[in-house]
Structure 1
């Protein structure tokens, strides 16, 4: 395991005429650890393509050896991206732990601010070797356009990072972006399989904001156009980066940003909804068990529920709106705390399952009355694994 520092290779600023903005780097080579002195450098390729030229990420964590029975990973493989700026390290730890528990051979792309990077680096190096050697971690500076206070702080710090990924990671064709307040309850491979449902028009996949229009945020509050009748939640997003670049994703997003900025209440999620409002044929809508949230279990109407999660369990739990914190949502906090307390390399998946079930018994709430949604997929993994670890 090694932790290396790289530098950014950037080009001098050029005007992106299609988007009508100027973006540049202050110097041709800028140390990648200094967020304040680094700004994104863009250039045209042809008439309508924009790319960001990066030489390397800040830190790369890879194993120097593989176990003998590890299957070889293709150069493409499964890629998972997230962005964390400010006080989000604990949630990142839980998210990473949930991926390591149920998956193998995932490449992480983590975007963060400078103060968060060394603690993250130290945490990854502290993981048990059996987990470290099966995953790759790349840590980057959060990357935004020049003079982009609005982009960096849209809704939550760095949450708009997902909008730029097609141009920051040019050598990856597909990836999954998740918010840091996400916990995987089944292998990432299962979610990756949703790419198989894409048709030739789809460039991304997301889950609806809700199931019941009565309680839908977009129907009640939104001031901008949104996809369909219920809108989309951006906490879990499958992205075909090649197609996003081909369909002028960034140019259109920047134009929507300029047009709707005063009305954006949920930041980048609103921009994503605006994009797919105008081009609905380009999004594949996954079912609710891939982004299970509190409003799937907190409201009284059956229509607000998520039937696939109640039947077979949720694949992903999303604590949007700080639902993992505080006392208002005890069921979600119970699951989060169980994962947080789980000791990789010492405790088994069966230990985790028992901890979740025990904590849920004390979570007296509407969501707590439907506990199977939180652990059925974990039970499935234990039953499928010949060795419980």
Structure 2
């Protein structure tokens, strides 16, 4: 009898919470409910649902628990570290690392990833703690219909307690080496993740890139793009003082990582004849090459995959399209044929006049006001902005930049 009473109580609580939450969401979207009131009621209702979910799980109603958590997911995009909701945290995991002045860039990055996604996205955001409020305030200012598309957790910058924390943080760019430690610091329920630098802008559905995981063979545990297509302008083959992958090295700004495989794999190296785990390998590798690496953690990844090439999957250059691909003329055939899928504005080009075509894309996505008419508010302004860059090499490739965007906007309801 007691068990039935518990079931009835939980059912009533669920029904009431769903009703309140539906009213809150409707009121917030339509403007009938003041934002401050809506946010307060939404937070309270979400808290109730979260705690009900624990009770439901205790009673072994797993499908109902997942449904409740799904409702929580669409009503509150922030999920604290350690929350049990991480067990139901979306279809695709992305990670970005932000330090210093990279807050705005990271928010534009996240915003772009939500433009065309049809599936839920979960962002693992690693940032200096004084940036956490900026992330929350920025995301909270977005319309609810956008916040429903994803959830996120904010983490402090976290390095192993190996005595090398300060050097890890300063390696190449502030905090950039955090990506090396994602297999160690992300919860083991996260099987795979797409890591992106803050200066990444998605021009297509993230799911299309996530699908590269399905093309991995049984050994591959990561996917990267080659650093240069043309050896004549390659950096690694001309200047590197350490081993690197393939003929021209790889770029790590966009990186698919099967964390489960990375945690389990033993890696070959030139440190000894013994194989080593990921966690055992990083510090000795840094100590050996610290005076020979220019691009920090990217160089360490090149060294690792030089000795373990069978573990790496390579994706085409139009999924990590950088100024290097067009600043001396188009070198990425896939960009011209299929369009640019992911734009990578490295070297600070979003914030200077050196590559105005890249800046035009960044400014357009940054200034986009979440209007439903993408053609009017993204394509048309971007076409105008890119036309003004026609006197530059990358501006001459504006049709490659627009191609995928036009295609996907035309096919977006």
Q: TM-score, normalised by structure 1?
A: 0.79
Aligned partner (choices 290, 302, 319) of residue 261 of structure 1:
290
Contact persistence 2:318–2:335 (CA under 8 A) = yes
Residue equivalent to 2:93: 79
Distance across 2 between alignment mates of 1:255 and 1:99: 36
**TM-fit CA distance, 1:268:** 0.3
Bigger relative contact order, structure 1 or 2 (CA pairs below 8 A, ≥6 apart): 1
| Secondary structure of 1:176 counterpart | strand
Q: Does 1:381 align with 2:392?
A: no
Distance across 2 between alignment mates of 1:250 and 1:349: 47
Residue equivalent to 1:358: 384
Contact persistence 2:90–2:150 (CA under 8 A) = no
Residue equivalent to 2:363: 337
Deviations 1:296-331 (A, max 9, x none): 11114xxx6111111121110000111212111111
Contact persistence 2:90–2:121 (CA under 8 A) = no
Contact persistence 1:350–1:382 (CA under 8 A) = no
Residue equivalent to 1:95: 109
Distance across 2 between alignment mates of 1:342 and 1:332: 16
| Secondary structure of 1:81 counterpart | strand
**TM-fit CA distance, 1:251:** 1.6
**TM-fit CA distance, 1:76:** 5.9
Residue equivalent to 2:176: 159
Residue equivalent to 2:204: 186
Residue equivalent to 2:16: none
**TM-fit CA distance, 1:89:** 0.9
Change (3 A) 1:109 1:3: farther
Residue equivalent to 1:367: 394
Distance across 2 between alignment mates of 1:204 and 1:188: 17
Q: TM-score, normalised by structure 2?
A: 0.74
Contact persistence 2:374–2:409 (CA under 8 A) = no
Distance across 2 between alignment mates of 1:3 and 1:258: 48
Distance across 1 between alignment mates of 2:411 and 2:206: 16
Map of 1:315-330 to 2, 5 A cutoff? 315-330=341-356
Contact persistence 2:96–2:124 (CA under 8 A) = yes
Greater shift, 269-278 or 131-140, is seen at 131-140
Residue equivalent to 1:218: 236
Runs of 4+ in 1 over 2 A off after TM superposition: 1-4, 61-66, 73-76, 345-350
Deviations 1:253-312 (A, max 9, x none): 222111111111100000000000011110001110110001111114xxx611111112
| Secondary structure of 1:276 counterpart | helix
Residue equivalent to 1:52: none
Distance across 1 between alignment mates of 2:109 and 2:375: 15
Q: Does 1:276 align with 2:298?
A: no
Distance across 2 between alignment mates of 1:74 and 1:137: 12
Judging by fraction of residues, say which structure has more strand: 1
Aligned partner (choices 298, 308, 312) of residue 327 of structure 2:
298
Residue equivalent to 1:139: 154
Contact persistence 1:207–1:287 (CA under 8 A) = yes
Distance across 2 between alignment mates of 1:338 and 1:372: 16
Distance across 1 between alignment mates of 2:206 and 2:174: 25
For structure 1, the residue ranges without an aligned partner over 5 or more in a row are 5-60, 67-72
Distance across 1 between alignment mates of 2:294 and 2:142: 38
**TM-fit CA distance, 1:63:** 3.4
| Secondary structure of 2:95 counterpart | strand
Q: Does 1:120 align with 2:135?
A: yes
Q: CA RMSD in A?
A: 2.0
Contact persistence 1:80–1:176 (CA under 8 A) = yes
| Secondary structure of 1:236 counterpart | strand
Change (3 A) 1:65 1:328: closer
Distance across 2 between alignment mates of 1:350 and 1:127: 19
